Amino acid sequence: MTGVSLSPAPSSPLALDPRVWQLWGKADPTRASEGGPEWHPLLCHVLDVVACAERLLVHMRPDRLDALAAAIALPPEGALPWLLLFVALHDLGKATPPFQVKVPGRADALRALGLDFPERDEPHGSLSAVLTTKALAEYGVPSRLARWVARSVGAHHGEFASLGKLALLEQQKGILLPVYAGKEPLWSLLRTHLVQALAGACGISSSMPRPAVPSATTTRHAFTADLAGLTTVADWLGSNADVFKYVEPPASPAEYLALAQARAVEALDSAGWRRPPQPPIRTFRDLFEKDPWPLHEAIEKLLPALRSPSLMIIEAPMGEGKTEAALTIFDALAARGATGLYFALPTQATSNQIFGRVERFIRAAFPGETHGLHLVHGDAGLSERYGGLKARAFAMRSIDGVARGKGGPVADAWFARSKRALLAPLAVGTVDQALLGVLGVRHGFLRLHGLAGKVVVIDEVHAYDTYTSELLDRLLSWLGALGTTVVLLSATLPAARREALVRAYGAAPAAPTTYPRITVATEGAASSVSFPGRRAPIPVSLVWQPAPALPERLAEALAGGGCAVWIVNTVRRAQQTYLALRDLRDRGLLPADLDLGLLHARFPFDARAARERAAEESFGPGEANRPRAALLVGTQVLEQSLDLDFDLMISELAPVDLVLQRAGRLHRHARQNPRPSAVQRPALWLVRPEGDERSEGPTFGGSALIYDESVLLRSWLALCDRTEVVLPTDIEPLIEVVYGGAAPQVSAELAARLAQMNRDSEERERNEGNQARAIELAAPDADDPFDGLARVVEDEDPSLHRSLRAKTRLGEPSIEVVPVFDRGGRVVLAGAPDVVLDLEAREPLPHRIVVAAARQAVGISHRAVVAALLHGRVPPSFEASGHLRFHRVLRLDDAGRTTVAGVPLTLDPELGLVVGSLDTPDDATPQETSACPRPNAPASI
């Protein structure tokens, strides 16, 4: 939508009361020392915000103007004045005694004008929600629409006022109680003149069409969330006092508006706001300079008829190019007006990996163009790649504030805060960041507004438990209502889950075609198409190995060389396995030159990152650094976070979809150097569970603390008699056998055990679903989805009771600790002893110290340890430092040991953080249940 601009309507027949200029909107005594006024008139501040909203709608997010206009049944040029007036009224509640009294000098001046100040306090957002209803009704806005708009713009500080709260503030609809509105009639008169001035500045005239009530409930609530987000963004930008400098009362609103419009251009530019990429229509070959694979050819055939918004579900085995397919879809829809991309992954590690790929894609696909690209998760600030983009953005503006350079991705600091990051046109991060949009967190609606109209890609969509899946379904319903195209990627998606995702988006499921497939849902209807795999089916030898025999057989298999991986289900088991293998190598029972490694999530951040880089160098697609003989021991971090290729795999039993996911790391890449003869065929050795010869089936030890035991048993039944699996041919049949619900043919004893497990599992799933529904935003077709979220909570603080936190995942609570040593009265980082921490400092630590401390942090999820640390003292310097404010200090002795809540903790440079004793089995320590980062385990968002 182009050609829309803001121009003031002719002056109102009633002259503006000059006393309106005496109401303040922003105040800062330090401004006087800079030679300017100490306060900024309320009318000026609101016009600053209006100018920013206009700039956003017309030049940066015209898609939101089109969507908001369509919701109120007006063309964009006719809707713009009304939308700007809606935004302008967000601070009408500041024209009340509870707000104006906050600056004593201004309150005295207003008392001299005859205004009274009843002693009653109330946030101005709630007061705006009441006053705006009446103000809009007087301009002919339908009363129902006026009410929704008032609550929407009044939520700009992060939360919607509840209907009950608004009723308490009103003596009748739209009329504020005198204890809040002021008893002197002059208060009402000044507010009337303020609204009149704003309506004139926004271009409202008596002859223009009035907005209509949105025809559908879903449309109405999408409009409400979208408008709340727009208002918040415009208010933040318009509150930048370095750009919108405080002024003395000007001659007229029109005169000041022209100044505000010029300043809005500067405000958005300095913040890094840019139009999203608008590429020409191009092909896969244009984008990637290589021939498309079958998946990409299928996508290109679908794209010409694809309408926005749509849901696309791509189900394909590992290595079929799903990431490139998603980027192809984004590029095609960006050419048609989609306003950006959010690529959501299940973990921080996968986010970091895809961030690099997306950065390279943007750089190559848009040469010479500068676009903002952000990494969005709790540890994004520790990414060196992301830090480089932030430094590049700073350098481009460091001379005169004007963006310079030769194009390429940058990361402007304004978007680097978690609440703002999804407003950036291009971002990669965890799915949790998007899920917060449908939870009761402050400014959750801002995340929905940021995702509206974009292409949202969610990878590994099969990887979530019932709780998180319920939140994901609710997110899909809102994204569909907001006009967002969603692309879901999965290698192993059960049919029932696929149908649930389609329904969540608001469409009827399609009859599935054969796997691999693409499902498309648009305007309530879905269809499905199949495509061939890019490679011939690969048979993978499946061998059940008894645990005691594994070292000897492994030594035989690797005698001639080869790269193997051993994946276990818990960190403790990984540490125990590594130590046992190291001992065998030292005793000569494994090849002496065997390169033995360990990778799990309980290493400090820096150490884990270094180990991940080393793994990719050794086991990635390249040949130069591939060792002759190597064995990497790890947990679920090896399932999906890294592009690794092994000759041989040993794995503990896991749910069948994860076993298949792990198997996708076998012979993943074509190799120039031939694989050793003993491992020339891909082979998966599964560790035989104890008791698998019993009539009632095996036991699963510590794995049953991580995964649903009924799924483990069904997975064992599906695989126990097999000698091979063929990828991708067997993926869908095995998934449906385990998750499809059909009862397997087993002994009576095993059937009884499985039936009880299934009952327990169903009860657990009901409880998880109910927990999610208790904290999530209601669906967009509900009567009033925002009323239940009137009370918002902190989304990061681990000390807040789990019943109060808005969590995106279930699981035991976890906490990040910073290990330190005491060295001669100084506290130093255990992993970087040259860095000294002043824990008692009352001011924030220097940025380099914060980053260094955060890069040495490690997560703990042991229940007793977490509880003890949460009740401990937080160092003042951590409380003052944003990134560390929820971290705790872990004081170690010279050997790297300590005890917390009776639990021994050891930070070992080779093993990572050891919790408890490694002499005890997993199932003997039920408090340590997380093999982080399982996608459905607690994760730093």
Cis peptide preceding 819, ω within 30 of 0: no
Whether 480 and 505 have beta carbons less than 8 Å apart is answered as yes
> Distance between terminal CA atoms of the chain?
36
Between CA 400 and CA 700 the distance in angstroms is: 64
Between CA 275 and CA 273 the distance in angstroms is: 7
Write the secondary structure of 328-376 as one string of H (helix), E (strand) and C (coil): HHHHHHHCCCCCCEEEEECCHHHHHHHHHHHHHHHHHHCCCCEEEEEEE
Regarding beta strands 683-687 and 648-651, do their DSSP bridges make them parallel or antiparallel, or are they unpaired?
A: parallel
Tens of pLDDT, residue by residue over 537-594, are: 999 999 999 999 998 899 999 999 999 999 999 999 999 999 999 999 999 989 899 9
DSSP class of residue 50?
H
Between CA 287 and CA 694 the distance in angstroms is: 56
Tens of pLDDT, residue by residue over 434-444, are: 999 999 888 99
Helices (H), ranges, 791-871: 847-854, 863-870
Average pLDDT score over residue span 817-832: 94
Among residues 689, 650, 442, 475, the alpha carbon closest in space to that of 554 is found at 650
Note the pLDDT of residue 935.
35
Tens of pLDDT, residue by residue over 454-495, are: 999 999 898 888 999 999 999 999 999 999 999 999 998 999
Kindly compute the dihedral angle of the four CA atoms of residues 383, 388, 392, 395, in this order, to the nearest 10 degrees: 100
pLDDT above 60: residue 797: no
Average pLDDT score over residue span 362-370: 94
CA distances from 818 to 83, 377, 891 (A): 48, 19, 8
Tens of pLDDT, residue by residue over 402-417, are: 445 567 899 999 998 8
Query: Which element (helix H / strand E) includes 828?
Result: strand 826-829
* pTM to 2 decimal places: 0.92
Band (pLDDT 50/70/90 cuts) for residue 29 is: confident
pLDDT above 90: residue 813: no
pLDDT above 60: residue 917: yes
Higher pLDDT, 921 or 106: 106
Band (pLDDT 50/70/90 cuts) for residue 842 is: confident
User: Each residue of 674-685: b (16+ CB within 10 Å) or e?
Assistant: ebbebbebbbbb
Residue 450 has phi, psi (to 5 degrees) of -65, -35
Between CA 298 and CA 572 the distance in angstroms is: 44
Strands of 531-626, DSSP E: 538-545, 562-567, 595-599
Nearby residues of 603 by Cβ (< 8 Å), 6 or more positions away: 611, 858, 912, 913
Q: Give me the count of residues in the chain.
A: 941
Whether 792 and 781 have beta carbons less than 8 Å apart is answered as no
Note the pLDDT of residue 30.
84
Average pLDDT score over residue span 125-150: 93
Between CA 746 and CA 717 the distance in angstroms is: 9
Amino acid at site 913: L
Whether 663 and 650 have beta carbons less than 8 Å apart is answered as no
Average per-residue pLDDT for the chain: 90
State the residue for tokens 């540890």: 379
Tens of pLDDT, residue by residue over 892-916, are: 999 999 999 999 999 999 999 999 9
Residue 350 has phi, psi (to 5 degrees) of -65, -35
Between CA 369 and CA 426 the distance in angstroms is: 13
State the residue for tokens 């309530």: 524
Share of the chain above pLDDT 90, in %: 74
Average pLDDT score over residue span 613-636: 94
pLDDT above 90: residue 49: yes
State the residue for tokens 């093993």: 911
Between CA 460 and CA 835 the distance in angstroms is: 38
Amino acid at site 894: D
Between CA 736 and CA 683 the distance in angstroms is: 23
Share of the chain above pLDDT 70, in %: 93
Nearby residues of 44 by Cβ (< 8 Å), 6 or more positions away: 25, 247, 249, 250, 256, 260
364 C-beta neighbours (distance < 10 Å), count: 12
Band (pLDDT 50/70/90 cuts) for residue 36 is: confident
DSSP per residue, 155-170: TTTS-PPPHHHHHHHE
Regarding beta strands 538-545 and 724-727, do their DSSP bridges make them parallel or antiparallel, or are they unpaired?
A: antiparallel
pLDDT above 80: residue 723: yes
DSSP per residue, 249-304: --S-HHHHHHHHHHHHHHHHHHHT--PPP-PPP--HHHHHSSPPPHHHHHHHHHGG
Note the pLDDT of residue 211.
97
Regarding beta strands 311-315 and 517-522, do their DSSP bridges make them parallel or antiparallel, or are they unpaired?
A: antiparallel
Cis peptide preceding 29, ω within 30 of 0: no
Among residues 471, 436, 502, the alpha carbon closest in space to that of 773 is found at 471
Bridge partner list, 371: 409
Tens of pLDDT, residue by residue over 273-318, are: 999 999 999 999 999 999 999 999 999 999 999 988 999 999 999 8
Between CA 653 and CA 660 the distance in angstroms is: 11
- Classify residue 455 by burial, with Cβ atoms within 10 Å: 0-12, 13-18, 19+: buried
pLDDT above 60: residue 858: yes
Note the pLDDT of residue 693.
84
C-alpha angle 458-790-870 in degrees, rounded to nearest 5: 70
Between CA 640 and CA 660 the distance in angstroms is: 11
CA distances from 460 to 351, 456, 935, 937 (A): 12, 13, 9, 15
Average pLDDT score over residue span 781-809: 63
pLDDT above 70: residue 146: yes
Band (pLDDT 50/70/90 cuts) for residue 873 is: confident
Whether 423 and 374 have beta carbons less than 8 Å apart is answered as no
pLDDT above 70: residue 800: no
691 C-beta neighbours (distance < 10 Å), count: 11
Note the pLDDT of residue 775.
86
Nearby residues of 939 by Cβ (< 8 Å), 6 or more positions away: 347, 348, 430, 432, 808, 809, 932, 933
Between CA 911 and CA 582 the distance in angstroms is: 11
Between CA 615 and CA 617 the distance in angstroms is: 5
pLDDT above 80: residue 870: yes
Amino acid at site 713: L
Tens of pLDDT, residue by residue over 647-680, are: 999 999 999 999 999 998 999 888 989 999 999 9
Note the pLDDT of residue 922.
60
pLDDT above 90: residue 804: no
Report residue 139 as tokens: 């301009």
Whether 699 and 640 have beta carbons less than 8 Å apart is answered as no
Note the pLDDT of residue 617.
95
DSSP class of residue 56?
I
C-alpha angle 421-786-434 in degrees, rounded to nearest 5: 25
DSSP per residue, 653-680: ---HHHHHHHHTTBT-S--SSPPPGGGS
Report residue 235 as tokens: 């208010």
Kindly compute the dihedral angle of the four CA atoms of residues 735, 544, 688, 732, in this order, to the nearest 10 degrees: 0
C-alpha angle 428-429-432 in degrees, rounded to nearest 5: 145
Note the pLDDT of residue 296.
98
Average pLDDT score over residue span 793-819: 66
Whether 307 and 480 have beta carbons less than 8 Å apart is answered as no
pLDDT above 50: residue 926: no
Whether 590 and 523 have beta carbons less than 8 Å apart is answered as no
